[in-house]
Amino acid sequence: MTIASSTTDSDVKSPAPDASKVTDDDASVSADVVIVGAGPAGSTTAHYLARSGLNVVLLEKTAFPREKVCGDGLTPRAVKHLIDLGVDISEEAGWIRNKGLRIIGGGHTLHIPWPELSDYPNFGLVRTRKDFDEALARHAVASGAQLFERTSVTDPIIDERTGRIIGVSARTTLPDGSAGPSKRFYAKVIVAADGNSSRLSLAMGLTKRDDRPMGVAVRTYYTSPRTNDDWLESWLELWEGDKLLPGYGWIFGVGDGTVNVGLGILNTSTAFQQVDYKDLLRRWLDQTPEDWGLREANQVGAVRGAALPMGFNRTPHYTRGLLLVGDAGGMVNPFNGEGIAYAMESGTRAAEAIVQALGRTGMAQQELALQGYPRAMRESLGGYYTLGRWFVKLIGRPEVMRFATQHGLPHDRAMRLTLKMLANLTDARDGDAYDRIVNTLSRVAPTA
CB 59, CB 14: distance < 8 Å = no
3-class secondary structure, 398: helix
pLDDT of residue 446: 93
Which residues, 6+ apart, have CB-to-CB distance to 418 below 8 Å?
408
* pLDDT recorded at residue 404: 72
Residue type present at position 93? A
pLDDT bin (cut points 50, 70, 90) of residue 18 is very low
In angstroms, the CA 102 to CA 238 distance is 16
Strands 231-235 and 73-74: unpaired
Q: Residue 349: pLDDT band by 50, 70, 90 thresholds?
A: very high
Is residue 60 a part of any domain in this protein? yes
Kindly state the average pLDDT of the residues 319-328. Answer: 98
Residue 48 lies in a domain: yes
Question: 51: left (phi > 0), else alpha (psi -120 to 50), else beta?
Answer: alpha
Q: Return d(Cα 231, Cα 396) in angstroms, integer.
A: 27
User: pLDDT tier at 334 (50, 70, 90 boundaries)?
Assistant: very high
Which pTM does this prediction carry? 0.91
Percent of the chain scoring above 90 in pLDDT? 78
Q: Is residue 352's pLDDT more than 70?
A: yes
pLDDT for 407 beyond 70: no
- 359 three-state secondary structure: coil
| Residue 363 three-state SS | helix
Q: How does DSSP assign 279-324, residue by residue?
A: HHHHHHHTTS-GGG--SGGGEEEEEEEEEEEBSS-S--SEETTEEE
Interval 341-367 mean pLDDT: 97
Res. 25: pLDDT tops 50: no
Backbone Cα Rg of the chain:
22
* In-domain check, residue 217: no
Q: Is residue 360 part of a domain?
A: yes
Mean pLDDT score, 223-249? 90
pLDDT band at 295, cuts 50/70/90? very high
Question: CATH code at 63?
Answer: 3.50.50.60
The candidate with the shortest Cα–Cα distance to 193, out of 39, 377, 370, is: 39
Asked if residue 221 belongs to a domain, the reply is: no
pLDDT value of residue 14: 34
What average pLDDT does this structure show over 62-87?
96
333 occurs within a structural domain: yes
Instruction: Please check whether residue 56 lies inside any domain of the structure.
Output: yes
In this prediction, residue 401 carries a pLDDT of 73
C-alpha dihedral, 417 to 418 to 424 to 427, nearest 10°:
0
State the pLDDT at residue 105.
87
Q: Are 347 and 337 in contact (CB under 8 A)?
A: no
CA angle 334, 340, 346 (to 5 degrees): 85
Which helix (H) or strand (E) segment holds residue 11: the answer is none
Is the pLDDT assigned to residue 214 strictly greater than 80? yes
Element housing 441 (H / E): helix 433-444
User: Which tens digit of pLDDT belongs to each residue from 151-209?
Assistant: 999 999 999 999 999 999 999 999 998 999 999 999 999 999 999 999 999 999 999 99
Q: Give how many domains the chain has, as a whole number.
A: 1
Question: In angstroms, how far is CA 71 from the centroid of its own chain?
Answer: 11
Q: Is residue 236 part of a domain?
A: no
Which residues make Cβ contacts (< 8 Å) with residue 439, sequence separation at least 6? 426, 428, 431
- What are the phi and psi torsion angles at 440 (to 5°)? -65, -45
Instruction: Please give the Cα distance from 58 to 47 (Å, whole number).
Output: 10
Please write the tens of the pLDDT for every residue from 116-137.
Answer: 999 999 999 999 999 999 999 9
Name the residue range of residue 153's domain: 9-68+129-209+311-384
- The pLDDT of residue 242 is 75
